[in-house]
Amino acid sequence: MTTDRASASYAALRFEVVDAIATITLDRPDALNALTVPLKTELLAAFRAVARDRSVRAVVLTGAGRAFCAGQDLKERLEPDAAPLAVELRERYNPIIAAMRALDQPIVGAINGVAAGAGASLAFACDVRLAAEGASFVLAFGRIGLVPDSGSTWFLPRLVGPAKAAELALLGETLSAPDAERFGLVTRVVPPDSLAEEARATAARLAALAPVALALTKRALERSWSVDLDAALEDEAFRQGIAGATADHAEGLAAFLAKRPPRFTGE
Ligand code: T3D
């Protein structure tokens, strides 16, 4: 089923929901989908719309044209009324990253081209990343005298380990898609023509799973970084208590015993 219930309110991105999968496409291809105030405002609104919509079971985030996202629009930054950097981060970037990480539904990043600066941070904030051959990641911040932001310093060491993270953050070297796969930053590299289809297939697999269990799993994985094993064990027991009480758990058991695919409803 296709709905464009929210598309009308977006100009710098495309938002569509088909068969329980929301696809958000950053849509400023001439500027490599660089992030302007309107695009950031719309991106936050799109994630908030997904958060409110239980019929959406998975999200694909991608970019139009040859780039995923080139980070902050540097031309906009030179405008006289541009907000101070720290304000821009606190008021626009950080809420987007927080909304992505707080989302119950999993986000599949379809990294179609270069992901630079805060564009790389957007990719890192996805739950699963697929990359097109030819895509790349670059923490371009140092090249313009800035510090990696929008969660890069938090995500990157967790995703690729501290040594590689330091190299990427300090030297600002470009990481190719095959190297990103080698370091575990992306799940799979695929031919550019297959990326949308592969991302959609991954999202469809996620959308068919039990939504409450998926949301709890996302939280447990995130929490594991800041607690010891005893706390993680207790956290798992707590979350399993919630998952075990859902109708979807009963459905999963019934489907297993009946040797049929489960039909999860999110209840
Ligand atoms: O508010 C705040 O500033 C705080 C938050 C900061 C977060 C950040 O994201 S800071 C980092 C900002 N991003 C960058 O520094 C990346 C800048 N871009 C690049 O380094 C390169 O463009 C790329 C490595 C991404 C791609 O290189 P390439 O050779 O494939 O493309 P290109 O020729 O450089 O760019 C193509 C066009 O896109 C070009 O426009 P033109 O000349 O054809 O009209 C270029 O100006 C435009 N473009 C690319 N990146 C940006 C951009 N326009 C505005 N802002 C950009 N970030």
Centroid of ligand 1 to alpha carbon of 179 (angstroms): 22
Q: Is the pLDDT of residue 256 over 60?
A: yes
Band of residue 116 on the pLDDT scale cut at 50, 70, 90: very high
Task: Give the residue, by CA position, lying nearest to ligand 1 atom 46.
Answer: 31
Assess whether pLDDT exceeds 80 at residue 1: no
Going from the Cα of 32 to the center of ligand 1, the distance in angstroms, rounded, reads: 7
Whether pLDDT at 6 is above 60: no
Question: pLDDT (tens digit, 9 = 90+) per residue, 43-85?
Answer: 999 999 999 999 999 999 999 999 999 999 999 999 999 999 9
Mean pLDDT in residue range 218-240: 96
Percent of the chain with pLDDT over 90: 95
Ligand 1 atom closest to residue 83's alpha carbon, by position in its atom list: 1
pLDDT at 94: 98
CA atoms of 3 and 140, how far apart (whole Å) = 37
Count of other CB atoms within 10 angstroms of residue 101: 17
Q: Which residues line ligand 1 (CB under 6 A)?
A: 31-32, 34, 70-75, 77, 85, 88-89, 93, 114, 116-118, 138, 140-141, 144, 146, 149
Averaged pLDDT score across all residues of the chain: 95
- Closest ligand 1 atom to Cα of 73: 55
Question: Distance, CA 21 to ligand 1 centroid (Å)?
Answer: 29
Q: What is the pLDDT at residue 9?
A: 85
Q: Average the pLDDT over 34-43 and give the result.
A: 98
CA–chain centroid gap for 12, Å, is: 18
Q: How far is the CA of 74 from the centre of ligand 1 (A)?
A: 7
Rounded-to-integer distance, Cα 80 and Cα 63, Å: 28
**Atom 27 of ligand 1, residue of closest alpha carbon:** 114
User: What is the best residue among 26, 28, 30, 32 to mutate for testing ligand 1's pocket, by most ligand atoms within 8 Å of CB?
Assistant: 32
Segment 145-164, tens digit of pLDDT: 999 999 999 999 999 999 99
Averaged pLDDT for residues 79-99: 97
pLDDT at 140: 86
pLDDT tier for residue 217 given thresholds of 50, 70 and 90: very high
CA distances from 52 to 93, 141, 214 (A): 20, 33, 16
Mean pLDDT of 234-245: 97
Please tell me the distance from the alpha carbon of residue 188 to that of residue 130, in angstroms, as a whole number: 5
- Residue 5 has a pLDDT of 52
